[in-house]
Amino acid sequence: MTGLTLALSKGRILDESLPLLEHVGIAPAGDIDRLLRVPSTRADVSLVMIRPADVPTYVEHGAADLGIVGKDVLMEHGGSDLYEPLDIGIAQCRMSVAAVKGYVAPRNRRLRIATKYPEIARRFYAARGEQVEIIKLYGSMELAPLVGLADQIVDLVATGNTLRANGLVEVEKICDISSRLVVNKASMKMKHAAIQHLIDAFRDADAKRVRAS
């Protein structure tokens, strides 16, 4: 039997993955709040729980055969050496530029952009020919324009509630974001039948999820 390891992003993606994993027949069979490596309800598939930003690294190195991770993380990771066969449609949001309501761009200096996604921001402004200063943050980006740390932020928006609550407005959408199934390239060759079976099962689970919603 070919053993498979699936890397799951802890947090929001893990929470939203659980119904899909159930459908695919690989629900966690252990304490997902404590264990980092958890057996699944299928003897040949085990699950590892890791920080979202680490999922591409585990899968690229073959420490996990497959992973579930946000498109934002994949875009920021850049040039990933892995396959991305399926959009599984969970954790949907968008990457956007936001600023304080009524904000006017400064004329005498570069725009300052606060973000957890410096690569995505750099590519976005470079494509528009705008020279900006990028300030890397690890969370609570919405605070930066309020305290004068930045002119704009590049961050994820879903309902828009966090922006509204902090007096910010969405200036422009950069792209839509959802979670993707990613696969190690060597595993795709060596364990092709088992992996293709899982990809098909996730596709089917996503189709059922869409029909149900």
Binding site for ligand PRP (CB under 6 A): 139-140, 155-162
φ, ψ for residue 117, nearest 5 deg: -125, 70
CB-nearer residue toward ligand PRP: 111 or 156:
156
Given ligand ATP, ligand PRP, none, residue 52, with its beta carbon under 5 to 8 Å by kind, binds: ligand ATP
Q: Of 73, 88, 154, 195, which one interacts with ligand ATP (CB under 6 A)?
A: 73
Q: What's the CA gap between 22 and 43, in Å, rounded?
A: 14
Note whether 67 binds ligand ATP by CB under 6 A. Answer: no
Given ligand PRP, ligand ATP, none, residue 140, with its beta carbon under 5 to 8 Å by kind, binds: ligand PRP
Note whether 76 binds ligand ATP by CB under 6 A. Answer: no
Name the 3-class secondary structure at 162.
Answer: helix
Note whether 78 binds ligand ATP by CB under 6 A. Answer: no
Nearest distance in Å: CB 179, ligand PRP = 13
The CA distances from residue 94 to 9, 30, 109, 112, in Å, are: 18, 33, 28, 21
Nearest distance in Å: CB 182, ligand ATP = 13
The CA distances from residue 118 to 27, 95, 137, 200, in Å, are: 35, 12, 9, 34
Q: Which of 60, 59, 52 is nearest to 93 (CA)?
A: 52
